[in-house]
Amino acid sequence: MRPLTEEETRVMFEKIAKYIGENLQLLIDRPDGTYCFRLHNDRVYYVSEKILKLAANISGDKLVSLGTCFGKFTKTHKFRLHVTALDYLAPYAKYKVWVKPGAEQSFLYGNHVLKSGLGRITENTSQYQGVVVYSMADIPLGFGVAAKSTQDCRKVDPMAIVVFHQADIGEYVRHEETLT
């Protein structure tokens, strides 16, 4: 468990900023306490100061996780967002996609969102913009990347992919062992 290096921080922030933009600083600079990011087992955890202190008592090899896992660094040192970060990012999400009830399940099984399943989308969403996928009942379902801009979405045929799947809450079931 160690703090992130600057490089790691940058990579991670770049990633997160795709989803929440400048709201990122609200994660770092929180009014309700001090929060920080910690790297442990290649995973980045978002930890409050309090828990950090508590976790300091546990040896590194025995520590499974602390705080909330935001994602992990791949071997190539890229940052991959985990669905566990959804609770922290969804409130700040700048671009949102709502999927129809029929397409919800498809998305929750790890599939991309097709245009037929697209219920609603934030305007001015650019291509490859990170989005948070919501159900029509405004329940955050996961992360995705806009495969098409909002304008393009209008033109494409119904079976075209609109949002690439990145993480979804189905992973809590599907990848239970890796979500720490």
Partner 1 sequence: MKASRETKRLFVGGLGQNVSEVDLQNQFSRFGEVSDVEIITRKDDQGNPQKVFAYINIRVAETDLKKCMSVLNKTKWKGGTLQIQLAKENFLQRLAQEREEAKAKKEKSTIGNTNLLEKMGVVDFHMKAVPGTEVPGHKNWVVSKFGRVLPVLHLKNQHKRKIIKYDPSKYCHNLKKIGEDFTSAIPISSLTWELEGGNDPMSKKRQGKFSDFHCPPSKIIKVQEDESPSASLAMRSRHHRVIMKNPHLTLQQTAQEICKDPITPKSPHVPDSDSQKLKRNKNSLSDDDTELEDGLRLMIAREENFGRTSCSSVNESENEPFEVVRNYFKSNVQKHCSLTDSGIKNNVSHLDSEGNVVSNNCDYDSVDTDDVAMKKVSKIKNNREFSQMEKSLYKKTSLKHRKNCELSDHCIKVQKRKNNIQLAVNNRVKHLSCKCLSKSISSEDADCVSESANSEEDEYNAMMKNSLHVTFTLADLGQLAGSDLKAPKEDTKSDGLETTSKSDRASENHRTSGSLHRSKQCIYPEEIVASLLEGEENTPGKQKSNKNNLKLKFQSFKGIGCLYGKEFVKKSMKENVASGDTSKNQNSLKLQDLTSMSMENIPSGKLTPFQCAKKADDPNYIQPQKRQFVFKSQNYKVVSPSSSDKGSRIPSCSLLTLKDKKYVSLGAETPRKGFEEDCCHRSTKTGKVSEKGPDLSSHVVPEKSPEVSSRMDTQGSETDFPLSVESSSDVNAKDKQAEDNQKRLAALEARKKAKEVQKKLVHNALANLDGHPEDKPTHIIFGSDSESETEKISTQEQSCLIEKPVKEFLNRASGKLFDSDEKEYDSEDDSSRFKIKPQFEGRAGKKLMDLQSHFGTDDRFRMDSRFLESDTEEEQEEVNEKKTTEEEELATEKLKALNIVQSILRINLSNSTSKGSVAAKRFKDIIHYDPTRHDHATYEKKRDDNQPKESKAKRKKKREEAEKLPVVSKEMYYNIAMDLKEIFQATKDTNEKEGVPWNEDCDGEKAKEVHDPAALKAGAKQPSGFTFSFFDSDTKNIKEETYKVETVKPGKNSWQGASFFEDSSSEEEDVAEETNDIKPRLGEISLPEKETTRFFFFSKNDERLHGECIF
**Interface with partner 1 (CB under 8 A), residue from 22, 61, 176, 177:** 22
- Per CB under 8 A, 6 contacts partner 1: yes
Residue with Cβ nearer partner 1 (38 or 148): 38
Q: Is residue 68 a contact partner of residue 84, using CB atoms and an 8 Å limit? A: yes
- Which of these ranges, 25-33, 124-132, 137-145, 171-179, lies near partner 1 under the rule CB under 8 A? 25-33
Show contacts of 148-156: CB within 8 Å, 24+ apart. 149/125, 150/121, 150/122, 150/123, 150/124, 150/125, 152/127, 153/115, 153/118, 153/121, 156/115
User: Total residues contacting partner 1 (rule CB under 8 A)?
Assistant: 23
Residue with Cβ nearer partner 1 (25 or 178): 25
The strand pairing partners of 113, in sequence order, are 163
**Interface with partner 1 (CB under 8 A), residue from 1, 36, 63, 160:** 36
Taking residues 45 to 74 in sequence order and writing x for each that binds partner 1 by CB under 8 A, - otherwise, the string is ----x--xx---------------------
User: What are the phi and psi torsion angles at 112 (to 5°)?
Assistant: -70, 165
Contacts of residue 109, Cβ cutoff 8 Å, sequence gap at least 6: 170, 174
**Interface with partner 1 (CB under 8 A), residue from 13, 80, 88, 180:** 13
CB-based burial label for 63 (10 Å; 0-12, 13-18, 19+):
middle
Tokens 């990145």 -> residue = 166
**Interface with partner 1 (CB under 8 A), residue from 1, 21, 152, 160:** 21
Interface with partner 1 (CB under 8 A) = 3, 6, 9-10, 13-14, 17, 21-22, 24-26, 28-32, 34, 36-37, 49, 52-53
